[in-house]
Amino acid sequence: MNKQSPITTSPLHVSVKHDSAIKQVAGRADYIDDLVEPEGTLHAYLGLSTKAHADIASMNLDAVRAAPGVVGVLTAEDIPAENDVSSVHKHDEPVFATTRVVTWGQPLFAVIGETREAARRAAKLAKIEYRELPHVTDVDAAVAAGGKLVTEPLKLERGDVEAGFAASQHRARGRVRIGGQEHFYLESQAALAIPGEDDEITLQVSSQHPTEIQVMVAQVLGVPHAAVTVNMRRMGGGFGGKETQGNLFAVVAAVAAKKLNKAVKIRPDRDDDFQITGKRHDFVVDYDVGYNSDGKIQAVTATYAARSGYSADLSGPVTDRALFHCDNAYWYPTVKVNSLPLFTNTVSNTAFRGFGGPQGIIAAERWIEDIAYALGKDPLEIRKANFYGTDSNNVTPYHQVVEDNVIHRVIEDLEQSSDYQARRQAILAFNKTSKVLKKGIAMVPVKFGISFTATWHNQAGALVHVYRDGSIHLSHGGTEMGQGLHIKVMQVVADAFGVPVERVQITASNTGKVPNTSATAASSGTDLNAMAALDAANQIKARMIAHAAFIYEVEPKDVQWEFGGIRAGQQFVPFDELATSCWMNRVQLSAAGFYKTPKIHWDRTTGRGHPFYYFAYGAAASEVTIDTLTGEYQVDRSDVLEDVGRSLNPAIDIGQVEGGFIQGMGWLTTEELWWDQKGQLRTHAPSTYKIPLASDVPRIFNVRLAEWSINKEPAIGRSKAVGEPPLVLGYSVVEALSMAVASVADYKVAPQLDMPATPERVLMGVERMRRARAST
Ligand code: MTE
Ligand code: HPA
Ligand code: MOS
C-alpha cells in the first residue's frame, strides 16, 4: 500500500488488478510443473491405444518394464478398488482399458519412471495385438449405425407446434453443422500425488473441480473421501477442459504414489493431451421453422445431435444446455426440440465455455438468417421482430418466465455506438462496385442462462480467518483459471471488512478447508463463492461488533462499521486493533460461510421449471472483408456490448469479454478437428490446429460493459456472471462472412456456411453463390 495516499474507499466495483498478474508476467506464478518436487519424485506416462475400436487380443509390456529408468508399470490389475473415473457415475470410463478399447488414445497402462523422459520413451515399447471392430467417429456415421446414445436425451415442448406450423405462411428447413473445439489451455493436464500415512494422500492438481478429483481418487483407491486432500492453486487455463478431464491423470498419479510410496507426477505432452482428453461437442442441428411474411416465427422443431464420444461424461447436461438455449433471445409461440447425445468412438467430449449453450444459440441464429434471406431483409430486423417481450411473449421453451429482459436496450445501445445502420449501407454500396473483395456486417444478440442446470451444484462454501494483526486469510470453494475469480472474492471480503484488498490473503483451493464443492463452472464461480465468503465475513463481523459494543459500553446498533475500522460511540478503533482486542478477549475470529442460489428448480422429466437464477445479455457487431478468389478474410471491426450487471471489477470483466469473443471467433472460423478414416485425431498440435493469433484480433475492437445495467436479482454486488456468455458473440464474424459471401448472388440466397467457416468453406460458399447466380 502506498504510504503517501492511504486507500480510504472500498475496492468493490473498481478495476483492481488480478492478484496473480505480476507473478504471471514475471514467470513467478506456480503451476504444477513448477512446484518443488518432494525427494525421489517419480514420473508417470500413459500408454495409449492405437485403434479406435478393438478387442485387445494380447498386451505384452515386457519391453516397457525392461526399459532403462523404469520403476514400474500399472495396468487395470494394479487398481486397488474401482477401475472407473466416469464423472457422472455411469461406470462407462475405465482408468485403464482391459479387454476392449473404444477410442484411439484410450489409456491402457502407465509407466512409472525415474524421469519423465524415461517413462515417455518406455511407453512406446508396448506390443499390443488388437482385433479391430467397426467404429463410428462422427454424427452421420453414428446415426447410420443406429444412433446409440451415451445418456438419456431431453425433450422441451411448449404449445402446439402443429397448430403453429398450420398458422405459418413460410417454412425454413435446414441443417447446420457446428464444429467442436480443443480447449488448448496453455498448461496441459497435470497432477502431483504425495503419499501419506495409512490411507492418506495429498494431491496438487490443475483442476476446476478439486472435490471430484478427491472423490475419484478415493473411489479408485478404495479409501474414504476424508483420506484424500486435494490442493489447487491455479490453472494455466481450464475453459471447461478441467471440469472432469483431469480425473484420469490425478488417479493414475495417486495409484502409483500409493503403490510405490513415492511422490508421482504426471504431465502428458500436448499431442497426447489432445488425443486423450474430450473437447467441445460438435453438433448437427436439423430444423424446421414456421414463420410469417412479417418475419415472426410461429413454430420451431429441431433435433440437436451431438458427438459425445465414448462415454457419457457431461454430454447429458451439455446437450440439455443446448436445448435451454434453442431460443437465444427469441420468443417461440410453439416449440418442440430434442437432443441426441450420440455415442462415437472418439474422445469423450466434455464441458467447454458455454457448455452446449453456444451451439443451441447458433442454430437459432441460423434460422433467423434463413428467414431474413428468404424475405430479403437485414437479419437484425428479423431478430427485433422475434425478441422476447418484457411483459408478454416471455415464456421460454422450459416454461421459465424471462423476468429481466434487457435485450432491446442492449441492441439499441450497440446499434448507436457501432453506427451499424450507416456502416451497413456503406457496405452494400461497396459490394456493388468491388469485384474481388466483398464486405459483410452482422449484429447478433446473446441471452445466457446463469446457474448450473443440476440444481444441487448451485452451492458454495468459504473459510475466512481474521488473524490478530488484522490480516485476513481467505479460502473458498472456487478455483482460479485466469478468469479473476480470486480477486473478485478478495474485493468482496475486503469491502465487507472495510480494508484494502491487500489485507486479504487468498490461498489455494483445498478440499480440507472447504468440502463438497462444485466445479468452478457455469460462469457462476463468483456468484456462488463470493456470497459464501461474504456470509463468513458477516459472521465474524457480527462477533467483532458485539465485542466492541461490550468493551466500549455502547449498544451494538451504535457501533458503525467504517472503512479502516469501527466507530463505537465517540471512539474510532482501527481494524487491526479491534482484531487484537477480540483475540485478547477470546472472541472467535474464524468462520465457515455457505451459500445456495435461491429461486431455482428444474424437473427434467416434465421439462419445466426455473433452472436459471437470471440471464446475462450481450451483443456484438462485426465487419469483415473476404477475398472471393481465395476465400481469405479479415475481421475489420468488432463492437461488443456485454451486460454484466453492476461490474465487480470492470478491468477483469472487459478481459473476460475480449477473451471470450476471440475464443468464440476462433472456434467458429479457424479451429478444425479432423479424424481420419481409422479414427485417429490428426489435428493434435498447434501445427495442425489453428487457434487465433494476436494478429487475428479485429483491426478495430471496441469492447464495453453496459454500465446502465444492474442485476434485478440480489446477486453479489448486483453483478452478473461474465465467463461464458461473450463466447457466443464470435458468431457475429460468421454471419458477417455469410453476408459477404451472399453478396456474390445479390443476397438472394442464404449461404448457410457450416462452422468452422474456414477460408476453404468461405470459398466453397462463394462458388455456390456463383452457381446460384448463373442459374437465375
Ligand atoms: N477465463 C480464463 N482466463 N481462463 C479460463 O479457463 N474459463 C471459462 C471462463 N473464463 C476460463 C475463463 C469458463 S468455461 C467458465 S465456466 C468460467 O470462466 C469459470 O469461472 P467463473 O465461474 O469464475 O466465471
Ligand atoms: N454448466 C457447466 N458445467 C456444468 C453444468 C452446467 O450447467 N452442469 C454440470 N456441470
Ligand atoms: Mo465452463 S464450460 O462451465 O467450465
Q: List pLDDT tens digits, range 593-637.
A: 999 999 999 999 999 999 999 999 999 999 999 999 999 999 999
Which numbered ligand comes closest to the C-alpha of 518?
2
Structure letter (DSSP) for residue 397:
T
Cβ-contact 683, 670 below 8 angstroms: no
The stretch 682-704 carries a mean pLDDT of 97
48-89 pLDDT, tens per residue? 999 999 999 999 999 999 999 999 999 999 999 999 999 987
Active-site residue flag, 403: no
pLDDT for 2? 41
Q: Provide the grid cell at 319.
A: 446437450
| Pair 212, 230: CB distance under 8 Å | no
pLDDT at 776: 74
Our answer on whether the CB atom of 31 is closer than 6 Å to any ligand 3 atom is: no
153/318 Cα distance (integer angstroms): 11
Task: Evaluate if residue 1 carries a pLDDT over 50.
Answer: no
pTM above the 0.95 mark?
Answer: yes
Indicate which atom in ligand 2 lies nearest the CA of residue 320.
7
Mean pLDDT of the chain: 97
Output the pLDDT for position 4: 52
C-alpha 526 to ligand 1 mean position (Å): 10
Pairing of strands 334-343, 155-158: antiparallel
Residue matched to cell numbers 479457424: 670
Q: Phi, psi (5° rounding) for residue 32?
A: -55, -45
| Of the candidates 43, 53, 50, 68, the residue with the CA atom closest to the CA atom of residue 107 | 50
Q: Is 290 helix (H, G, I), strand (E, B) or coil?
A: strand
For the CA of 525, the nearest ligand: 1
Task: Give the pLDDT score at 3.
Answer: 47
The fraction of the chain above a pLDDT of 90, given in percent, is 98
Residue 758 to residue 162: CA distance in whole angstroms: 38
Torsions phi, psi of 548, nearest 5?
-60, -40
Grid cell digits, residue 467: 488473524
Q: What is the mean pLDDT of residues 555-572?
A: 95
Distances (CA, A) of 485 to 91, 363, 479, 505, 703: 33, 31, 7, 14, 20
Q: Give the pLDDT confidence of 446-494 residue by residue, as tens digits.
A: 999 999 999 999 999 999 999 999 999 999 999 999 999 999 999 999 9
d(CA 410, CA 406): 6
**The residue count for the chain:** 776
The residue behind cell 478478495 is 490
Question: What are the cell numbers at 331?
Answer: 420468443
Q: Cα separation of 514 and 439, whole Å?
A: 53
Residues with CB under 6 A from ligand 2: 243, 314, 317, 321, 351, 355, 452-454, 457, 519, 521-522
* Mutation choice for ligand 1 from 486, 523, 691, CB with most ligand atoms inside 8 A: 523
Does position 165 have pLDDT exceeding 50, yes or no?
Answer: yes
CA distance 232 to 249: 14
What would the mean pLDDT of 357-383 be, rounded to a whole number? 98
CB contact at 8 A, 189 and 245: yes
Cα dihedral 411, 413, 418, 421 in deg (nearest 10): 60
Give the pLDDT confidence score for residue 6 in this predicted structure.
Answer: 63
Q: Is 49 exposed, middle or buried (0-12, 13-18, 19+ CB in 10 A)?
A: buried
Ligand nearest to the CA of 509: 1
| Distance in angstroms (rounded) separating the CA atoms of residues 640 and 489 | 26
Q: Is the CB of 246 under 6 A from ligand 3?
A: no
